[in-house]
């Protein structure tokens, strides 16, 4: 499809098709400034909703600005980490637009379940919300890397799991907002409905420590293979 003459995609219909795993590669390439502006607005709004009743949130989190800054940083991190794998159509702005649009599922975090249910029920619901949002976003990342980036199965696995493990370990270094290790150590603190979610994150930290090295080795092997293939193709295409 010729992207210069293609009909511009509607922002809402594009977002819906993306969130339901129906966006084509050509449509991914047509994402433009309108989609990015809409995605940033969604990120800002769900960021406000996520932290509006959080007891220890910072000012930038309450204002939703922290979430916007986060997706810019996340996009830089993913673009740099996955660039050596040489995905097709690998552009920072396109990746940023995609990440901003998939912020919408985080609207689940804004549901004030603490007001309507008991502490235990609200805790369980927050864990389910975390699982739904995280699973949905990971599935969308796989969809994006496969549909737009044309990565193969093994490459998809490494390109998806390795960044997640690095992010989880980074959260561990930041002490997961101080909650996880207090919960695990039994330190006396005010309980919140997020404690169970922090517990699952603690489990992910342990798994990340165990499997990070094998994934890094797999990543290195794929990168070497990709660049060898690129050099051969470049050599074959050079005039003799």
pLDDT-based confidence at 52, cuts 50/70/90? low
pLDDT surpassing 90 at residue 119: no
Q: Among 99, 92, 136, 110, which residue's Cα sits nearest to residue 46?
A: 110
Share of the chain above pLDDT 90, in %: 45
| Confidence bin at 29 (pLDDT 50/70/90) | very high
| Predicted local distance difference test score (pLDDT) of residue 35 | 96
How many Å apart are CA 110 and CA 142, to the nearest integer?
25
How confident is the model at residue 189, as a pLDDT?
42
Q: What is the 3-state secondary structure (H, E, C) of the chain?
A: CCCCCCCCCCHHHHHHHHHCCCCCHHHHHCCCHHHHHHHHHHHHHHHHHHHCCCCCCCHHHHCCHHHHHHHHHHHHHHHHHHHHHCCCCCCHHHHHHHHHHCCHHHHHHHCCHHHHCCHHHHHHHHHHHHHHHHHHHHHHHHHHHHHCCCCCHHHHHHHHHHHHHHHHHHHHHCHHHHCHHHHHHCCCCCCCCCHHHHHHHHHHHHHHHHHHHHHHHHHHHHHHHHHHHHHHHHHHHCCC
Task: Mean pLDDT check: name the lowest of 3-7, 132-136, 194-198, 228-232.
Answer: 3-7
The residue with greater pLDDT, 69 or 174, is: 69
- pTM of the shown model: 0.79
* Per-residue pLDDT at 115 exceeds 80: no
Tally of CA atoms within 13 A in the half-sphere of 49 that contains its CB: 17
What mean pLDDT value characterizes the chain?
80
Give the number of other CB atoms < 10 A from CB of residue 234: 9
Q: What angle do CA 39, 163, 229 make, to 5 degrees?
A: 105
Q: What is the pLDDT of residue 157?
A: 95
CA distance 155 to 142: 10
How far is 75 from 56, CA to CA, in rounded Å? 26
Contacts of 225 (CB under 8 A, 6+ apart): none
Lowest-pLDDT choice from 17-26, 29-38, 58-67, 68-77: 58-67
Predicted pLDDT at 186:
37
Q: Which residues contact 102 (CB under 8 A, 6 or more apart)?
A: 18, 19, 136, 137, 140, 141
Rounding to the nearest 10 degrees, give the CA dihedral for residues 60, 61, 67, 73: 60
User: For residue 193, what pLDDT band results from cuts at 50, 70 and 90?
Assistant: very low
């Amino acid at each position: 499809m010729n992207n210069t003459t293609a009909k511009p995609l509607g922002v809402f219909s594009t977002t819906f098709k993306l969130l339901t795993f129906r966006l084509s590669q050509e449509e991914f390439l047509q994402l433009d400034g309108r989609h990015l502006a809409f995605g940033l607005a969604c990120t800002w709004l769900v960021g406000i909703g996520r932290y509006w009743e959080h007891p220890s949130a910072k000012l930038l989190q309450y204002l939703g600005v922290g979430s916007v800054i986060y997706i810019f940083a996340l996009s830089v991190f993913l673009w740099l980490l996955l660039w050596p794998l040489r995905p097709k159509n690998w552009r920072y702005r396109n990746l940023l637009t995609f990440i901003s649009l998939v912020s919408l599922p985080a609207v689940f975090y804004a549901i004030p379940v603490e007001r309507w249910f008991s502490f235990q029920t609200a805790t369980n619901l927050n864990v389910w919300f975390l699982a739904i949002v995280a699973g949905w976003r990971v599935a969308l990342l796989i969809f994006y890397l496969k549909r737009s980036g044309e990565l193969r199965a093994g490459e998809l696995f490494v390109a998806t799991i390795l960044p997640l493990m690095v992010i989880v370990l980074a959260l561990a270094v930041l002490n997961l907002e101080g909650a996880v290790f207090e919960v695990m150590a039994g330190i006396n603190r005010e309980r919140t409905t997020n404690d169970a979610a922090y517990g699952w994150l603690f489990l992910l930290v342990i798994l990340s420590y165990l499997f990070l090295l094998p994934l890094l080795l797999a990543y290195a092997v794929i990168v070497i293979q990709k660049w060898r293939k690129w050099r051969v193709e470049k050599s074959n295409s050079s005039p003799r």
